[in-house]
């Protein structure tokens, strides 16, 4: 009954050979006769269709991205589509070939039926370029270099009878081509790779290549598919057939069972998805491998277990030792069961750590956790969110530590720190327990460092993706934040965007020389809007100087947070403001350049007075430009 859980540990944060991760999982699954966790990648159908007989003219494909993006898995799906040999694929050889039939006459497809009307095409698989190419500093083996030279030629040959499927991490791809002997085709191929990567495109006219950067796939979309496959895996079915005892594996007190049930909760699943979606909007891609690691650790994590993951034999012991609370899914989601060094080395936990959930709080939340018991106003929250949770809520250790912390009777720093660690776990729990209808009342997102994150998801991203317009007060706030950054002054105006410099330096902290004012509302071709880019899913802040002249600025979560706080508070902690500040000054430079371009295309009056508009502020913080004439 425990084989599935032992197998599930392979997906968790345990030592493994990362370069052969997919093969390791597949071999283990075959050995234990267990179906691995699998689901269809969002790009799988499109990739497979580049090779199957549904296409009359197959092309080469490059799969790139970060480690764990599913490149090897997708290569295997193509191999299966082409009816490749399972034993050959199960080998450790990163290079394989297969012959496949395609119609000779591309125009008659798909009516072709006679075998004589098909042509044989040789397909080369390099399913792991990093494992196949020589190490950095080593020379290429002649036959390998010759093969890649042939690939480069095939990209520009419309009649080629050889195509390639190459999987490579994004850094490894360009680096490998730089080390090849320089030829005309190698130079052209490397240029194509770099342009497709930079411009985030799949193909280029006249080139027989489809380029898939898997790191551009939405982490939230991958999570949706991964969590469905994880929760719906037949391995869980065996537990439903048994009637375990109270302290047995998957019994009423089993933390693995409780974590599994919590992950099925729409509220927990929805909050976790929101965090991954916010990672996307911060430019942080979470690969499939990391998502599966997160899910496995969430359910099996326990700080006292071997490798910090529970095995079936651990459950009765942990229940008997009364340490079930250390298996909290709420804590495991952030890697709280792992050592700090191990946690920092894992991508998903590094990303989630940036939200600072558990460390950020509000007075009301801490009052609920510390003083809520028996309090007339806060007692109902304490009961619902803490006392009623018999697994990860307030146990006897929590009540005792809380009492000593409040009374100040314990001068032992180590035991005081233990209660503070309990508070971190309880705050994390609240983030996943507070229902949607109480989010505003309890200021849910102030439990993170991004207190405007919920607004960003619900009132900006969701509205724009649905084809709507962001409410004017939110746009006004962003414009006010931009004006304050662009001028270095506490401007309260949000009807116009003020572009200012310090004279000869647009990056100065205080800029009082007004260059231009751009109307936020549509006026003579000018406007400032928030819009959704369907090509890559980003939110864009677009400033129009004319219908055909505009500048886009990707409004990531962290930039939205930065501008919102600047607009409302006037300042932001330096911990994450420097990069945003520099990005916004670079954006201002782009806007000034666009203004200059518009000026150059307009007919200007001659004989006008020469001077400067100097910005000053009224007592209400409204801009008051004053023209100063310069006399030659």
| Residues 219 and 280 sit within 8 Å (Cβ to Cβ) | yes
Q: 350 pairs with which residues across the strands?
A: none
> Do residues 343 and 330 touch, judged by C-beta distance below 8 A?
no
List the structure tokens of 191: 């240029």
Q: Is the dihedral of CA 486, 492, 493, 494 positive or negative?
A: positive
* Residue 298 neighbours by CB under 8 Å, 6+ apart: 259, 263, 329, 332, 333
CB atoms within 10 A of CB 195: 12
Enumerate residue ranges in the chain where pLDDT < 70. 1, 16-20, 54, 56, 105-116, 409-412, 415, 504-507, 572-576, 601-610, 629-632
Nearest to 487 by CA among 518, 515, 510, 514: 510
**Residue that has been written with the tokens 């219908």 in this structure:** 547
State how far the Cα of 495 lies from the Cα of 480, in Å rounded to an integer. 9
Q: What is the Cα–Cα distance from 460 to 475, expressed in whole angstroms?
A: 10
pTM exceeding the 0.75 threshold for the entire prediction:
yes
pLDDT of 54 reads 66
Put the strands of the sheet holding 539-546 in their side by side order: 527-532, 539-546, 549-554
Structure token pair of residue 498: 């003020």
| 520 and 494 Cβ atoms separated by less than 8 Å | yes
Residues in the chain: 632
Instruction: State the pLDDT at residue 106.
Output: 55
Q: What is the model's pLDDT at position 113?
A: 57
**Residue 323, SS3 per DSSP:** coil
Burial bucket for residue 397 (CB in 10 Å: 0-12, 13-18, 19+): middle
Task: Please report where in the chains the tokens 């490798």 appear, as a residue.
Answer: 307
**Regarding beta strands 162-169 and 60-65, do their DSSP bridges make them parallel or antiparallel, or are they unpaired?**
parallel
Q: For strand 549-554 and strand 539-546, is the pairing parallel, antiparallel, or unpaired?
A: antiparallel
Which two three-digit tokens encode residue 390?
């018999």
Task: Reply yes or no: is the peptide bond before residue 291 cis, omega within 30 of 0.
Answer: no
Q: What is the pLDDT of residue 555?
A: 97
Give pLDDT, residue 17.
Answer: 47
The 10 Å Cβ neighbour count of residue 301 is: 29
**pLDDT score at 107:** 54
Which tokens belong to 248? Answer: 């047995």
**Dist CA 349 CA 297 (whole Å):** 11
Structure tokens at 98: 């297969």
- Cα–Cα dist 532/461, whole Å: 8
Domain residues of the chain, as ranges? 8-13+218-353, 43-216, 363-447, 454-629
CA 113 vs. chain centroid, Å, equals 46
Buried b (16+ CB within 10 A) or exposed e, 318-357: bbeeebbbbbbbbbbbbbbbbeeeebeebbbbebbbbbeb
User: What are residue 536's phi and psi, to 5 degrees?
Assistant: -130, 5
Query: b or e along 252-279 (b: 16 or more beta carbons within 10 Å of the residue's beta carbon)?
Result: ebbbbbbbbebbeeeebbebbbbbbbbb
pLDDT digits (tens, 9 = 90+) for 345-360: 999 999 999 999 999 9
The dihedral over CA atoms of 110, 116, 118, 122, expressed in degrees to the nearest 10, equals 160
């Amino acid at each position: 009954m425990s084989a599935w859980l032992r197998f599930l540990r392979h997906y968790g944060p345990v030592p493994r050979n990362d370069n052969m991760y997919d093969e390791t999982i597949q071999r283990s699954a075959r050995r234990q006769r267990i179906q691995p966790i699998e689901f269809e990648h969002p790009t799988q159908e499109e990739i497979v269709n580049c090779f199957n007989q549904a296409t009359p003219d197959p092309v080469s494909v490059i799969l790139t991205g970060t480690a764990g993006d599913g490149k090897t898995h997708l290569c295997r799906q193509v191999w299966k589509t082409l009816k490749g040999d399972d034993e050959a694929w199960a080998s450790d050889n990163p290079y394989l070939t297969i012959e496949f039939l395609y119609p000779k006459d591309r125009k008659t497809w798909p009516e072709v039926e006679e075998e004589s009307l098909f042509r044989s095409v040789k397909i080369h698989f390099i399913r792991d370029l990093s494992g196949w190419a020589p190490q950095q500093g080593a020379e290429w083996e002649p036959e390998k270099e010759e093969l890649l030279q042939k690939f480069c030629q095939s990209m520009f040959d419309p009649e080629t009878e050889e195509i390639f499927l190459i999987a490579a991490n994004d850094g490894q791809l360009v680096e490998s081509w730089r080390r090849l002997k320089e030829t005309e085709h190698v130079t052209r191929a490397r240029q194509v790779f770099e342009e497709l990567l930079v411009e985030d495109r799949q193909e280029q006219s006249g080139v027989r290549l489809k380029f898939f950067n898997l790191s551009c796939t939405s982490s939230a979309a991958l999570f949706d598919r991964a969590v469905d496959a994880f929760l719906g895996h037949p391995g869980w079915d065996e537990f439903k057939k048994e009637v375990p005892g109270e302290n047995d594996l998957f019994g009423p007190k089993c933390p693995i069972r409780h974590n599994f049930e919590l992950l099925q909760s729409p509220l927990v699943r929805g909050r976790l998805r929101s965090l991954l979606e916010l990672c996307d909007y911060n430019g942080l891609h979470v690969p499939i491998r990391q998502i599966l690691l997160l899910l496995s650790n969430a359910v099996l994590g326990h700080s006292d277990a071997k490798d910090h993951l529970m095995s079936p034999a651990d459950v009765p012991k942990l229940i008997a030792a009364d340490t079930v609370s250390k298996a909290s899914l709420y804590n495991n989601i952030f890697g709280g069961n792992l050592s700090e060094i191990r946690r920092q080395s894992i991508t998903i936990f590094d990303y989630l750590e940036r939200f600072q959930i558990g460390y950020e709080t509000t007075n009301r939340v801490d009052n609920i956790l510390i003083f809520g018991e028996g309090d007339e106003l806060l007692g109902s929250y304490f009961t619902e969110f803490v006392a009623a949770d018999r697994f990860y809520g307030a146990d006897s250790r929590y009540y005792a530590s809380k009492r000593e912390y409040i009374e100040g009777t314990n001068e032992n720093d180590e035991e005081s720190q233990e209660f503070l660690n309990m508070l971190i776990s309880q705050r994390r729990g609240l983030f996943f327990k507070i229902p949607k209808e109480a989010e505003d009342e309890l200021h849910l997102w102030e439990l993170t460092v991004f207190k405007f994150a919920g607004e960003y998801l619900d009132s900006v991203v969701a509205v724009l993706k649905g084809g709507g317009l962001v409410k004017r007060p939110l746009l006004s706030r962003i414009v006010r934040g931009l004006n304050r950054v662009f001028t270095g002054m506490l401007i309260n105006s949000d009807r116009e965007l003020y572009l200012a410099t310090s004279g000869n330096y647009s990056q100065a902290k205080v800029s009082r020389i007004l260059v231009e004012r751009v109307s936020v509302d549509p006026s003579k071709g000018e406007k400032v809007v928030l819009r959704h880019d369907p090509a890559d899913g980003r939110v864009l802040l677009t400033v129009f100087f004319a219908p055909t002249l505009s500048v886009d600025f990707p409004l990531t979560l962290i930039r939205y947070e930065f501008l919102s706080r600047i607009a409302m508070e006037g300042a932001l902690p330096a911990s994450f403001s420097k990069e945003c500040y520099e990005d916004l000054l670079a954006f201002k430079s782009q806007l000034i350049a666009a203004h200059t371009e518009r000026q150059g295309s307009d007919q200007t009056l001659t004989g006008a007075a020469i001077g400067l508009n100097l910005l000053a502020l009224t007592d209400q913080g409204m801009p008051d430009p004053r023209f100063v004439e310069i006399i030659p």
